[in-house]
Structure 1
Amino acid sequence: MELRQLSYFSKVAEARSFSKAAAILHMTQPSLSRQIMALERELGHALLIRTPQGVEPTPAGVGLLSHLDSVFAQVERIPEVVRTAGNELRLARIGVPQGLPQDWGVALLRALDQQLPRVRVSLHEATTEEQRQLLQHGMIDLGLLHTAAPELTCRFLLTQRMGVAVPPESALATAATISFAQLDGLRVMAHAAGEVDVEVSRVQQLTEAAGAETEWLFRRFSEHSWLIALASKVDGVLVTRTSARRHLPNWVWVPVTDRDAAGDDLDIRTWAAWRDPAPSHLREIVDVMRSVADSDHG
C-alpha cells in the first residue's frame, strides 16, 4: 500500500464525503474513488460505506483510522530520524504521560545530555493505554506508564502523591490532609478513565466507603483544565501536586489520606516500559531515569 492512499482514506473519513475530500485534495472524485478501492482490495476489507448522511467508516475503517494518527506522526519524524542517524547518534522515541513532574523531566534531560551525549530523545505525549499500543506496534521505543504492563518489561521509576486542589477560600484550604468523607456534598473533578491509574470505579467505591455524597466530574485534563473547573463550578480537583501547580496554580493542594479496600493508596506510580530484546542505549536511558527519580515528587 502507499502512504498517499492512507492519506486519501483519512481525508475522506474526515470529510464524510468523496466529493468534498476530492476538492480538498485537488483531484477528481473518480480518481480518489479508485485509490480507495485499491487500498480496500489490498487490505481485504471495505473501509468506507455510503449512507444517507454521507460516507462513514466501516468497523475496519474505524480501526485503521485509530492507527493512522501514529503512522502519520512517525512519518513526520522521518527527517529527525535521518538527521540523528546521519550525525551518528542514537534516537530514542519515548512516550510521556500527562502530569509527569516537570522538575524530574528537566533533571532527566540534563542527565541524559551529560551521561549519554550520543543519544537523542524524541518525546510523544500519550496516555498509558495509548503508549501500550504504541509500544506493541513499534511506534515508540520506551514508555512511561502509570501501570506495570504484564506484556512488557517494566521498571519502577517514581511515585506522585494524590490530593485535592481547592480554591484558597475553601474551608479545606487550611487542612493538613483530606479524606473522602470531607468531600461529602461537594462537586469534585477528576481524571477521565485511562489517563491515570485512579480509575473511575475506584474513586466511586472510596466515596461510597466513606459514606460521602460527592458529585464527581470525570474529565480529560489539558491546558484548559482550570477553565473547565471554573465553568463547572467545582469545589475541588482530585489531582497530583504537579498537575495542580500546572493547571490550578492559585489553588491550594492538600494530600489525600484514603486507602481502598485492599489497603492501597491513591498515589500515582510510574514505570519505564519497553519490549525485549531492547538495544543497550534504551537500558542505559532507563538507568539514568531511575537515578534521577525522586519518590517525593507530588
Structure 2
Amino acid sequence: MELRHLTYFQVVAELGSIAKAAATLRMTQPTLSRQLAYLERSLGYPLLARTTRGTSLTPAGIGLYDHLQGVFQQLEQIPEVLRSSHARLRTVSIGVPPGLPQAWFTHFRVSVEEADTRLRLAVFEATSEEQVKLLLGRHIDVGLVHAEPPRVASAKVLTQPLGCAFSEPRPRGRSSALTYADLDGLRVMAHAQTETPGEETRLRSAAEAAGAKVDWMFRPFSHHGRLIAEAADVDAVVVGEETALKEFAGWEWLPFRKDEENAEVVTWAIWDEPVPPDLTVCLIAMQKATSHVERWDYGG
C-alpha cells in the first residue's frame, strides 16, 4: 500500500462516485477501480459499497476516512516541521474552532513565543467534535473547543458573550442586550449538535424557560453561514461577536444579557495523556491572552 492509494480512496469517499473521482484524478475508471481493490486487499477490509446510485463507505471505510483526516493534516505539516527542526525549534500542534477571537489568539501566540523563543505553534481549524478525534488520534497536542468533553483533560481558558445577528435592524428603543423572550416568533439559526455539543439543548431550554416560541433551525456552518441563513430566510443567527463581524457583516449583532441562561460561549483547552511537554507554557500564555483582551460588552 502506498500513499497514493489512500489519496484515491479519500477522493472517492468525498465525491461518492468512482467515475467522478477518476475524472478528478485524471485516471480511467477501470484503473482507479483496480487501485481501490488493491487497497482493500492490502488492508483486509471492504471499504466501499458500490451501488447503481454511486459509492458509499462501509463501516471500515468510514473509520479509515475519519482517520485519514488527521493523517493528511500531519502530512501537510511536514514542511513546517522540517523548518522548525532545521532551526532547532519545537512545535505544538493546536486545534482552533470557528469563531475564536483573532485578537485573543494573537496575544496567545505572542505570549508563547515570548515565554520560549524556541517554541512555535502549528494551527489547525476544526470543530470541537473533530478536535477531540484529532487529539485522541495524536494528530494535535492541544485543542480549543466550545464544550468540555468527558474523555480528556481540560481547563477553561476563555469566556465571551453569545448573542444574535439580526438580518433586519431591530426597532429603535429596544434594549442593547437580548433576552430569550426577544426571540419569540422569530426563525433563528444556530450551530448543529455536531459543531457545538449541547448547544441545541441549551438554547431550546432557555427559550422555553422564557416562554418564547422560537422556530429553531440547527445547521453546521462556518464560512458560508450567511449564505445558509439567507437561503433559509431566518430572522437571526445565534453566534459570538467575532463570527458576526466576519460572516454576517451588515447584520446587527446584540449580546444576550449576562443574567440570561446560556449567555456565554466558553472555550476550553483540552489535552490527553501523556501530558504534552509544553502544555504549561501554553496554558499560562492562554491566561495572559485572556487578561489582555478587552472586557466583553454584554450590553445593558
Question: Which category describes the TM-score, using the shorter chain as reference length?
Answer: 0.7 to 0.9
Whether 1:53 aligns to 2:50 is: no
Question: Deviation at 1:191?
Answer: 1.7
| Distance change in 2, residues 1:270/1:252 (3 Å) | same
How far the C-alpha of 1:90 sits from its partner, in A, is: 0.4
Question: Cα distance, 1:153 vs. partner?
Answer: 1.8
Equivalences for 1:131-170 in 2 at 5 Å? 131-167=131-167, 169-170=169-170
Question: How do 1:13-162 and structure 2 match up within 5 A?
Answer: 13-14=13-14, 16-18=16-18, 21-22=21-22, 24-25=24-25, 32-162=32-162
Shift of 1:190: 1.6
Tell me, yes or no, if structure 1 residue 289 matches structure 2 residue 286: yes
What letter corresponds to residue 269 of structure 1 in structure 2? V
When residues 20 and 160 of structure 1 are mapped into structure 2, their CA distance, relative to the original with a 3 A threshold, is closer
8 A Cα contact 1:180 1:258, kept in partner: no
Aligned CA distance change for structure 1 residues 108 and 172 (closer, same or farther; 3 Å): farther
Give the TM-score normalised by structure 1.
0.86
For residue 262 of structure 2, what is the aligned residue in structure 1? 265
CA distance in 2, matches of 1:19, 1:247: 35
Q: Aligned pair 1:228/2:228, yes or no?
A: yes
Residue 268 and residue 62 in structure 1: after superposition, are their counterparts in 2 closer, same or farther (change >3 A)? same
Give the C-alpha shift of residue 127 in structure 1. 0.8
Cα–Cα, structure 1 residues 237 and 2, in superposed 2: closer, same or farther, change >3 Å? same
- The answer on whether the counterparts of 1:101 and 1:297 sit within 8 Å (CA) in structure 2 is no
Quote how far apart the aligned CAs of 1:139 are. Answer: 0.8
Say yes or no: does 1:276 pair with 2:282: no
Q: Is the 8 A contact 2:168 2:235 kept in 1?
A: no
CA contact (8 A) 1:187 1:236 kept: yes
Asked if structure 1 preserves the Cα contact closer than 8 Å seen for 2:109 and 2:285, the reply is no
User: Which runs of structure 2 are paired with 1:168-247 in the superposition (5 Å)?
Assistant: 169-171=169-171, 174-197=174-197, 199-247=199-247
Quote the Cα distance in structure 2 between the aligned partners of 1:3 and 1:17. 20
Q: What is the CA distance between 1:26 and its match in structure 2?
A: 5.1
Q: 1:135 to 1:185 in 2, by over 3 A?
A: same
Gaps of 5+ in 1: none
Shift of 1:131: 0.3
Distance 1:297 1:86, change over 3 A: farther
Q: Distance in 2 between matches of 1:73 and 1:142?
A: 15
Aligned residue identity for 1:218: F
List per-residue Cα deviations over 1:135-160 (Å, max 9, x = no partner).
00011111001122232221210101
Q: What TM-score results when the alignment is normalised by the length of structure 2?
A: 0.86
Total equivalences in the alignment: 295
Kindly indicate whether the alpha-carbon contact (under 8 Å) linking 1:94 and 1:121 is maintained by their aligned counterparts in 2.
yes
CA contact (8 A) 1:166 1:173 kept: no
1:198, 1:266 within 8 Å by CA — same for their partners in 2?
A: no
Identity of aligned residues (%): 43
Note closer, same or farther for the CA distance 1:103–1:20 as it changes in structure 2 (3 Å cut): closer
**Letter matched to residue 127 of structure 2:** T
SS of equivalent residue, structure 2 residue 278 = helix
| Per-residue CA distance 1:36-78 (angstroms, 9 max, x = gap) | 3332233221112332234332222122223222222221221
AA aligned opposite 2:99: G
Displacement of 1:247 in angstroms is: 2.3
C-alpha distance 30-288 of structure 1, shift in aligned 2 (>3 A): same
- CA RMSD in angstroms comes to 2.7
Deviation at 1:203, TM superposition (A): 1.4
Q: CA deviation at 1:29?
A: 5.4
Give the C-alpha shift of residue 10 in structure 1: 2.3
